[in-house]
Amino acid sequence: MSGGDGAIDRALERMVGYHRGRFEKAEGKRDPKRRRVGLELKFPIVTAEGEAAPWEIIDTFWGIIEEDGWDLKGERLSEQVREARGGDPDRPDLIQTTTGRCVLEFSVGHEGNLAAMDRHLARLREYALELREQTGAVFLCLGTHPVTLPSPDLMAKKSRHMFWDDVAPPREADPRVRADVSLFTTIADNQVHLDIDLENATTAVNVLNALAPVQLALTAGSKVWDGEIDDDHWAVREVYWDWWLGEQARYGIPARRFTDFADYCRAIGELRPVYADREGVPYSLAQYASFLHYLSDERPSGRTVEGDQFDLNPTDADIDLHDRAFWWNARLSRYCTIESRVSCQQPPDALLAPAAFVMGIVEELETADNLTRDLPWDTVKDLRSSAIREGLGAFAAGTEHAGLPARVLDLAEAGLRRRALGEEEYLEPLKRRLETGRVPADDSAEVFAEDGVRGLIDQYAWA
């Protein structure tokens, strides 16, 4: 049982204090004059026929990087769930299995500028080239598998996936799919991490969520799936969140604009917890109405997969785990960065475009805050829905916010110029899209209509 409002308040103070301490520690190790960037890039792995690569091909990839010196580890629940660290020993990159076995994620270590990140990605691309030479399979630079439907059969057997039906039971959506966490077995996004200090953290979250519809419209790239062109969605990768979680406040645009850091932490604490981990054993926390109720419970407990109840002592590690169980379009990460999560994976020549967009905005944070402060939050949510359905059509001439993308791109370019590193060149793909009104969803649909899956592979393979 929760100890009441006083106990809830103390639990919130614990969360705020823990997060504040982590940020202050991180700030002490950073160069305040040079904001760094990190990426989490997901790639669908497809066969020459465009279907999800089988385990044998994925296993070949793990062998390629292990032979090159990467430290490969597995999950106790399944040999098909793996991660590997390699590259710079002081700042190793991470490659890992995601929700689905046929999508791999590259977490690329922080660099001080986008040109260095570009060189970094060129080195990692060599592994994708080697896989293609050995198997014919490719890393595809689109937001979803174009042929294979998401399915529970593709799920990576991870601890964190075992209790989601308790918190988010399957819902009715498209009849072709099961609207649960297995939707994410085939999608791919392009996530950006930037250094941020505690003083500006909440403002950055508010601004990047307010501008998420613009970013989504410019980077929408998941219109071809199940071997068809989806005429109703430019970003089916993003609508999967709606199909799975419905009215829950743990994805997309947060329920409110945050007043300060404590308010941000309260919003996280108000979400239902999913599970706790003790020495690799997951315990469901689904009986709690919120994470704050778990932290403040006089006798906290969790349930095993078998249904047995065990007493638990809430730890800081539980806070870290809870921080990974919500997916706002922009959030603060466990790395004490501002994380932008809204972009579909981008074409091979534009992998750094989302990073350029986010970096530029954060460099002009005060101006961006002034630009977005008067934008009603319900309007932001509506614009996100429109961007999912229409891409840049959400901001077409004659609509209320038609000029917003141009203003935002001008702001992002000014922020990059402020850094004086020549990084504004990485914004060019987004500027071209605004000029033509065409985004990757439009182009990939046209390629698919003319040349089928083979055309998609030819144009959107990373290697």
Enumerate the domain spans of the chain: 31-271+326-460
pLDDT at 158: 63
Mean confidence (pLDDT) of the chain: 94
Q: pTM score, two decimals? A: 0.96
pLDDT at 2: 53
Q: In this predicted structure, which of 80-84, 167-171, 173-177, 262-266 has the lowest mean pLDDT?
A: 80-84
Count CB-CB contacts under 10 A for residue 171: 13
Give the integer Cα–Cα distance in Å for 454 and 303. 48
Q: Answer whether 439's CB lies under 8 Å from 391's CB.
A: yes
pLDDT tens per residue across span 334-391 = 999 999 999 999 999 999 999 999 999 999 999 999 999 999 999 999 999 999 999 9
Q: What angle do CA 196, 256, 38 make, to 5 degrees?
A: 25
- The share of the chain scoring above pLDDT 70, in percent, equals 97
Q: In this predicted structure, which of 154-168, 232-246, 249-263, 269-283 has the lowest mean pLDDT?
A: 154-168
pLDDT at 156 over 90: no
The architecture (CATH level 2) of 31-271+326-460 comes to 2-Layer Sandwich (3.30)
pLDDT at 78 over 80: no
Distance of CA 227 to the CA centre of its chain: 24
pLDDT at 77: 46
